Amino acid sequence: MGQKKSVKMEDIAEALGVSIVTVSNALKGKKGVSDSLRKKIADTAEKMGYRSVVREKKEEKSYIIGVAVAEKYVKEFPSFYMDIYKRIAAEAVKKGHLTVLEVVTAEKEALEKPFEPFLEQKTAGLILIGELNELYIQAIRSTYDIPVVCVDYYDVYEDMDYIITDGFGGMEQMTRFLLDQGFSDLMFVGTPDGTKNITDRYLGYCKALELAGEEEAQNNILPDRDFSNGDYRIQFELPDKLPEAFVCNCDKTAEILLQKLKKREIHVPEDVSVVGFDNYNTRNLTPLKLTTYENDEKAIAQISVNTILKRIEGRKKPSGVRIVGGSIVLGNTVRRKGDL
Written as tens digits, the pLDDT of the chain (340 aa) is 344 457 888 889 889 998 888 888 888 777 778 888 888 888 898 888 885 444 444 446 789 999 999 888 887 655 788 889 999 999 999 999 999 999 998 888 888 888 876 655 688 999 999 989 898 999 988 888 899 999 999 888 888 999 999 999 999 999 999 999 999 999 999 999 988 899 999 999 999 999 999 999 999 999 998 877 666 788 899 999 999 999 999 999 999 999 999 999 999 999 999 999 998 766 666 689 999 999 999 999 999 999 999 999 987 788 889 999 999 999 999 998 766 5
What per-residue confidence (pLDDT) applies to 203? 97
41, 101 Cβ separation under 8 angstroms: no
Instruction: Give the burial string for 10-21 (b: 16+ CB within 10 Å, else e).
Output: ebbbeebebebb
* Cα 118 to chain centroid, rounded: 21
pTM of the model: 0.74
What per-residue confidence (pLDDT) applies to 120? 55
What per-residue confidence (pLDDT) applies to 226? 82
63, 312 Cβ separation under 8 angstroms: yes
Point out which residues pair with 222 in neighbouring strands: 189
Eight-state DSSP code of residue 291: B
186-189: strand order across its sheet: 221-222, 186-189, 245-248, 273-275
| DSSP output for 58-111 | TT----EEEEEEEGGGTSSS--HHHHHHHHHHHHHHHTT-EEEEEEE-HHHHTT
As a residue count, the chain comes to: 340
